[in-house]
């Protein structure tokens, strides 16, 4: 069950990146993130209603509240960095860098969560890391060097915050229904995202968003919601050191969709890196 949920999370995460890339074309990335978060919150609320877990809110401990809120804040920061990065650069270049968070996630899961350092987990993590660095290395020099460095830095920051999110969320959802925790986290992210938009003074730009952009932002929000529900359901059942790397298989899926849907170029490094990441994912599943 844990593996299946992690794989589904990867599929929906890949769809999120592609749909969001289309949706935030000519749209401020922070505003686009804020709009998407509304959709995610609605989805999370529906799931909580269906599972009838509202009443469990009063039983959540102060410790769980603290870590759930912190995980929401790191998710918000990760999102802001990630979607600004894919707005500036190619999805097939940004996503692999963002997914390099797997190394930090595995290390933190061993140190902070005390999860066992199983040989296959270490091998799988190393293969995924190697594959990621192969993909990062394929970035070619461009005329606008500052722009390139900008989105690479943003993608790296997204990876750091994503790693922290997994660890903080694992601690926060202990003894808490994962769907309810996802709903609470989304509220935090929504407040954070719209706070950034109001601070920037870009709320008026919402009227400039085209119907096409709105459609893809909504679709990416739905994909994100489904990915989150699967992912946090998986880490509530299994180990972060296994679930997180499998979820990062979305890197390969995103590259494939980037080539098919966005017509991004496929290079030798892309193929090699994708195959190495796939091999690492298989090690974790086994």
- Band the pLDDT of 147: cuts 50, 70, 90: low
Q: What is the pLDDT of residue 148?
A: 53
Q: Considering the entire predicted model, what is its pTM?
A: 0.72
CB neighbours of 114 closer than 8 A, spacing ≥ 6? none
Answer whether residue 137 shows pLDDT above 70: no
pLDDT in tens, 184-227: 989 998 998 899 899 888 888 898 899 999 999 999 999 988 98
Pairwise pLDDT comparison (56 vs 277), residue with the higher score? 56
Count of domains for the chain:
1
pLDDT in tens, 218-273: 999 999 889 888 888 888 888 877 787 777 677 778 878 888 887 777 778 778 88
**Separation CA 237–CA 256 (nearest Å):** 29
Domain of residue 214 covers 1-285
**Mean pLDDT score of the chain, rounded to an integer?**
83
Of all residues in the chain, what percent carry a pLDDT higher than 70? Answer: 91
Q: What is the pLDDT of residue 102?
A: 74
241, with CB counted inside 10 A (0-12, 13-18, 19+), is: buried
- Band the pLDDT of 133: cuts 50, 70, 90: confident
């Amino acid at each position: 069950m844990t593996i299946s949920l992690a794989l589904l999370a990867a599929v929906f995460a890949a769809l999120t990146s592609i749909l969001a890339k289309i949706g935030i074309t000519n749209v401020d990335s922070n505003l686009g993130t804020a709009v998407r978060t509304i959709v995610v919150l609605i989805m999370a609320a529906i799931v909580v209603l269906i599972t009838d877990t509202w009443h469990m809110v009063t039983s959540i401990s102060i410790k769980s509240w603290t870590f759930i809120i912190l995980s929401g804040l790191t998710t918000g920061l990760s999102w802001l960095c990630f979607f600004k990065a894919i707005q500036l650069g190619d999805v097939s270049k940004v996503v692999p860098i963002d997914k390099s968070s797997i190394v930090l996630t595995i290390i933190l899961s061993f140190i902070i969560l005390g999860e066992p350092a199983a040989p296959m987990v270490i091998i799988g993590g190393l293969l995924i890391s190697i594959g990621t660095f192969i993909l990062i290395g394929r970035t070619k020099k461009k005329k606008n060097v500052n722009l390139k460095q900008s989105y690479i830095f943003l993608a790296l920051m997204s990876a750091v915050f994503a790693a922290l999110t997994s660890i903080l969320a694992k601690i926060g959802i202990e003894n808490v229904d994962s769907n309810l925790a996802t709903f609470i986290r989304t509220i935090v992210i929504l407040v954070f995202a719209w706070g950034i938009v109001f601070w920037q003074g870009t709320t008026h730009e919402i009227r400039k968003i085209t119907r096409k952009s709105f459609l893809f932002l909504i679709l990416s929000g739905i994909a994100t919601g489904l990915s989150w529900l699967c992912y946090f359901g998986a880490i509530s059942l299994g180990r972060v050191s296994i679930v997180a790397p499998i979820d990062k298989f979305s890197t390969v899926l995103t590259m494939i969709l980037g080539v098919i849907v966005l017509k991004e170029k496929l290079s030798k490094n892309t193929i090699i890196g994708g195959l190495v990441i796939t091999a690492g994912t298989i090690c974790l599943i086994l």
